[in-house]
Amino acid sequence: MNIECDNTRRHFFRDCGVGVGAMALADLLAQETASASSTESESARQCHFPAKAKRVIYLFMAGGPSQLELFEQKPQLQQMSGEVAPDSFFDKEKSFAFIKKGATLLGSERRFRRHGQCGMEVSELLPHLGTVADDLCMVRGMVTDVFNHGPAKLFMNSGFQTPGRPSMGSWVTYGLGSESNNHPGFVVLQSGPRGPRAGNALWASGFLPTTFQGVPFRGTGDAILNLNSPAGINSERQREFFDLVGNLNQQRLDLTGDPEIATRMRAYEMAYRMQTSAPELMDIGSEPKHILDLYGAEPGANSYANNCLLARRLIERGVRFVQLYHTDWDDHGNPGQNIGSALDKRCGEVDQPSAALIKDLKQRGLLDDTIVIWGGEFGRTPMGEVRKSLPGRDHHINAFTMWVAGGGFKAGHSYGKTDDLGFGVVDEQVHVHDLHATLLNQLGFDHEKLTFRFQGREYRLTDVHGRVVNELLT
């Protein structure tokens, strides 16, 4: 859709004042109105080839979890711990947020063991995750371009390091549409001591219609702020209000053809339906006790465990993309952020619920066509960063680990090889753009063809980069 061009044509036909102009304008508006009112249903029929997956749950660990404490056992790094890092680690092409040349190597004190029939190595910090090792595709050779948190989160979520581009969830819902009449196609859930850096730009729709932006749900209180009616407004009066505003918006839509008006109309109707559906969705107390125990969820709490269970409930109700943000993984060596006790706490919060989500989806027959992703915006350096006598690591973009499960990704498979110190990828590298291309492929889209025309250019999630990593797929 070329909005800029359409607006130019619309204004020309409107202002030319002759019969043919009026006729052309009427036809153009009819096409635009039909397109705007059926964006979601039409896009759901535009897959480029048969899809392996229908939906995505993205477990985002904001701050950059340390792959060297969680997924990458490096005996040589342990042996060389305390030695000055090689000069080659600090050449002009390498950038770090804080550490400088002369920093020393830091071995991990965590023990690793092999899990499952596949023998996948996982740290002692994630014992529950080890129980689903045979369902995981471990991507150990991840690389990215951006080493500061806010831009790096944007890059991981939108393929670009500055605000303004559509997020991955927006691209997915733009392509797939929504299966739900009562919930948004893209929902965001947050846990941890604060929100992620870059904020709502991480789930914004950019230049895509705003109907595809992420909608944050709160874990306690009202699921969505300002969703409930004010005191004294009953359902009949509210329906009258929606009908009146809807008629006014429809008149404006007929006149201008602006798709954002259609988005606004759908938002009002969605809000009306969600006044009933949202409380039922958020009531995890209706789940059987064994399911609550599986996740470690507690009704009424605002926790990662509750959000993992909510993610399953959301996709059961037709939501296409659910993104969970869990914060405070920025382990430089501060009292609340280090690879000692602070990392223990973070892992304790996410380990059981993440594994439970895999098990629950699998037992319900949902894992095969649901992609679950776990990871942060980058990894951590093999060089140490000590603050206040606590062990930590700096941001690292040259080698880190993520895992994926379900949706046609190889189960019980590890991909990517790093050097003996865990500094760089030596084989089977996967760039962020490659991960995006591969995810879209599993959802039935050629990443080079899922585009949106804006300001005279065709844009896509992978920008002008990316390849499908077929080695990760069944």
| 48-97: pLDDT as tens digits | 999 999 999 999 999 999 999 999 999 999 999 999 999 999 987 788 99
- Report pLDDT for 120: 98
Q: What is the rounded average pLDDT for all residues in the chain?
A: 88
pLDDT tier, 5 (very low <50, low <70, confident <90, very high otherwise):
very low
pLDDT tier, 225 (very low <50, low <70, confident <90, very high otherwise):
low
Q: Are 296 and 305 in contact (CB under 8 A)?
A: yes
| Fold category of 54-223+286-472 in CATH | Alkaline Phosphatase, subunit A (3.40.720)
β 55-61/321-326 pair status: parallel
| 264-319: pLDDT as tens digits | 777 666 666 767 777 888 899 999 999 999 999 999 999 999 999 999 999 999 99
Q: Who wins on pLDDT, 4 or 323?
A: 323
β 215-217/321-326 pair status: unpaired
Q: Are 309 and 259 in contact (CB under 8 A)?
A: no
End-to-end CA distance of the chain: 34
Is the pLDDT at 133 greater than 80? The verdict is: yes
Q: Please tell me the number of Cα atoms within 13 Å of 18 on its side-chain side.
A: 4
Supply φ then ψ for residue 38, to 5 degrees. Answer: -125, 25
Q: What is the mean pLDDT of residues 333-338?
A: 93
| Exposure b/e, 112-121, CB count within 10 A at least 16 = b | beebbebebb
| 180-221: pLDDT as tens digits | 888 999 999 999 778 899 999 999 999 999 999 999 997 666
Domain boundaries, the chain: 54-223+286-472
